[in-house]
Amino acid sequence: MENFEDKGKHNYGLGFWKKKETRDHFDYLLKGQFIKTYVMSDEQFVQKHSFKYDYIHLDGDHRYFGAKKSFELFWPRLKEKGYISFHDIHFEAESKGIKFEQWKLWEELIKKHGYKMEFSNDYSGIGIIQKITKKRKRFKKKFD
């Protein structure tokens, strides 16, 4: 397990959340009625919780291997027909020696999982993939 206190090995997210109350930070979104946040590593969360989700948003480690690890941990927790989203899918940068490579993982995933949607603001963007593992049935109905 990584040492999240080592500033050279993560993107400072946990450091931020240790100083900020997550409920207050997201309070503008429906007053926190439908959002539950957890401040812990992906591995800690997966070990502690066995939930299945309709929607998962990943905005943690933006390095390629960190983002891929998050995806691999949480994809099995996503319900069939659920959605997983990623922040910064168009952001290619380096800061303090850390390469932001979420975009690289995004390119791989959209080739493998063709059901996707992108929202772009010309520098970061959000990408959404739907988990479809079973062939879809067509809706057939004759209308008179």
Cα–Cα dist 121/116, whole Å? 17
Residue 138 lies in a domain: no
pTM given for the model: 0.74
Cα–Cα dist 132/115, whole Å? 8
Provide the CATH number for the domain around residue 107.
3.40.50.150
**Nearest Cα to Cα of residue 73 among 103, 53, 92:** 53
Tell me which H or E stretch contains 84: strand 78-87
Rg from Cα positions in the chain: 17
Residue 144 lies in a domain: no
Residue 95 lies in a domain: yes
The pLDDT value recorded for residue 31 is: 61
Residue 96 lies in a domain: yes
Local mean pLDDT, 10-residue blocks, the chain (144 residues): 45 53 66 70 89 89 91 95 91 83 92 84 87 81 80
